[in-house]
Amino acid sequence: MLTWPRSDGDWNPDYASVERCHTQLAREISLREQVVITCMDDAHADKIRRLVKDAGGRPERLHLFALPSNDAWARDHGPITVWKDGRPTVLDFIFNGWGGKYPHVFDNKITAQLHARGAFGTTPLESCKLVLEGGSIEVDGEGTLLTTESCLLNPNRNPQLNCGQIERQLRHFLGVDYILWLKHGAIEGDDTDGHIDTLARLCDAHTLAYQTCDDKSDPQYPQLRAMAEELMALRRRDGRPYTLVPLPWPRPVHDPAGRRLPATYANFLIINGAVLVPTYNDPADALALKTLAGCFPDRRIVPVMCRPLIHQYGSLHCVTMQLPQAVVPEST
């Protein structure tokens, strides 16, 4: 699932580059699976189909829906899918603009509106009275969830709930039974209060790829070093340590105002037969691709230039949300 960026919003200064990035994403995904896309109107939908076709993608696999949106971060306003009694259910959590930082009224309605329009076929939808973004959680499909205290325990999300109550909510809605918390690691420039998908990712049930910083003079070094030590201390449910795979650190990137932007290689996306990996026109790109190829030997590693995305403080995984095959019908 993608929510195509609006040309009249925050992306406007370099919209052409951002649209090229989304076109590449839609191309690569459409070559392998269906793509649900929220767009502005019918003319915009036609343009997206042309862009993807011209890029060598499969426009017949695009399912486009004209709906109001605030921004492009589908990971955080899109549905989270769980399985109940052998069937998928899409969960619609509350999205509050990362703690009220940005406008979010339209984005908070997208999942329900897509469901009403048939984007998820006959899959039932459950509305969840909990503020939760997809980028804030990482699961292994076997009952383990990894997250950060800085985000899920932030009073700008669910101030009425303490840690134990939030854990009970996660268990209830997501079916997880083993929850791991990180205290450190928030990347400078990230405005999500430390989403786990910028920091550490489960490649399988026993392997974690994580963002490192090897420059001791970098202001980011203490946080990422502390996070690495936390990851080394984590134990799987069977008591064994995780296999840890460090990802290289790209050079600092700043916006025109001097604010550091959150470039991270942990923000990759696993799709059918491939892993899409963000690149930043940085010397570390090649090592990041090689490292992740070792984590996913049965999938093609596909680089996607995401430098335009980090100017709005997110990257590749942040603008996408995966859906099981059973959720998206071949035709809508």
User: pTM of the full predicted structure?
Assistant: 0.97
Query: Is 325 among the domain residues?
Result: no
- Could you give phi then psi for residue 296, rounded to 5 degrees? -130, 70
Q: What is the DSSP string of 256-322?
A: TTS-B----TT--EEETTEEEEEE-S-TTHHHHHHHHHHH-TTSEEEEEE-HHHHTTT--TGGG---
Portion of the chain with pLDDT greater than 70, in percent: 99
Q: What is the pLDDT of residue 13?
A: 84
Q: What is the pLDDT of residue 329?
A: 80
Q: What is the pLDDT of residue 331?
A: 65
Q: What pLDDT, in 10s, does the model give residues 115-153?
A: 999 999 999 999 999 999 999 999 999 999 999 999 999
Query: Is 113 among the domain residues?
Result: yes
Task: Return d(Cα 301, Cα 299) in angstroms, integer.
Answer: 6
247 Cα distance to chain centroid: 17
**Three-class DSSP category at 79:** coil
Split at pLDDT 50, 70, 90, the class of 330 is confident
Nearest to 90 by CA among 63, 54, 116: 116
- Token readout for 174 is 């997501």
- For all residues of the chain together, what is the average pLDDT? 96
Q: 274 near 300, Cβ under 8 Å?
A: yes
Q: What is the pLDDT of residue 88?
A: 97
Query: Is 328 among the domain residues?
Result: no
Residue 66 pLDDT greater than 60, yes or no: yes
- Token readout for 255 is 């916006």
Q: 67 near 110, Cβ under 8 Å?
A: yes
Give the domain CATH number at 313. Answer: 3.75.10.10
Query: Is 20 among the domain residues?
Result: yes
End-to-end, the C-alpha distance of the chain in Å comes to 14
Q: What is the pLDDT of residue 186?
A: 85
Q: What pLDDT, in 10s, does the model give residues 229-272?
A: 999 999 999 999 999 999 999 999 999 999 999 999 999 999 99
Q: What pLDDT, in 10s, does the model give residues 268-297?
A: 999 999 999 999 999 999 999 999 999 999
Domain, as residue range, for 275: 2-319
Mean pLDDT of 195-208: 98
Query: Is 329 among the domain residues?
Result: no
Q: How many CB atoms lie within 10 A of CB 7?
A: 13
Task: Return d(Cα 195, Cα 134) in angstroms, integer.
Answer: 9
Query: Is 332 among the domain residues?
Result: no
Tell me which long-range contacts 160-163 makes (C-beta under 8 A, separation of at least 24): none
Q: How many CB atoms lie within 10 A of CB 155?
A: 9
> Using the 8-state DSSP alphabet, how is residue 106 labeled?
T
Task: Return d(Cα 194, Cα 212) in angstroms, integer.
Answer: 15
Query: Is 324 among the domain residues?
Result: no
Q: What is the pLDDT of residue 332?
A: 54
Task: Return d(Cα 316, Cα 314) in angstroms, integer.
Answer: 7
Q: What pLDDT, in 10s, does the model give residues 96-111?
A: 999 999 999 999 999 9
The residues annotated as belonging to the active site are 318
Q: How many separate domains does the chain show? A: 1
Nearest to 6 by CA among 36, 43, 39, 55: 39
Query: Is 31 among the domain residues?
Result: yes
